[in-house]
Structure 1
Amino acid sequence: MDVKRALEIYTDKNHNFEVKLEGQPVWIENVDEVHGMATVQVGPNPTNTQTVKVERLQED
């Protein structure tokens, strides 16, 4: 995924997109355009977050 698409998903009010990180569902919580990074929630636990390169995210 590229930064532009990650931002589109992050800012969409409906959030009806399936995004995965290495096969696991994630929720985009923030996108850092300058560095090409995204903070994501992995799975259902809101405290399980990771900051990863947006290229690692995949949209189903």
Structure 2
Amino acid sequence: MDVKRAKAIYEAKDNIPVRLEGKPIWIEHVDEANGMATVQLGNNPLDTHTVRVDRLEEVHKLQ
């Protein structure tokens, strides 16, 4: 994923599924200047990590 898409997902009103290494995450913050994102793993608000946005994968639902 690129920085612009990560930022768009973060700002979206809809819930857009994203994964990190196959695990569901929530994007908490996007650092556009450095290409990094702070993400929450699963439903645990204390389990956050800062990772490169190119490690994030948007989950596309089948129509």
Distance 2:43 2:28 in 1: 13
For residues 7-59 of structure 1, what are the alpha-carbon distances to aligned partners after superposition, in whole Å with 9 as ceiling and x for unaligned?
A: 00000122x21100000000000000000000000011000000000000000
Distance 1:39 1:8 in 2: 14
Three-state SS of the structure 2 residue aligned to 1:34 is coil
Task: For structure 1, list consecutive stretches of 5 or more residues without a partner in the other structure.
Answer: none
Give TM-score scaled by structure 1 length. 0.95
**Bigger-Rg structure (1/2):** 2
**Alignment of 1:58 onto 2:54:** no
Alignment correspondent of 2:6: 6
Across the aligned residues of Structure 1 and Structure 2, the Cα RMSD in angstroms comes to 0.5
Distance 2:16 2:10 in 1: 10
**Pairing 1:12-27 to 2, within 5 Å after superposition:** 12-14=12-14, 16-27=15-26
Question: How many residues are treated as equivalent by the alignment?
Answer: 59
Task: For structure 2, list consecutive stretches of 5 or more residues without a partner in the other structure.
Answer: none
**Alignment of 1:46 onto 2:57:** no
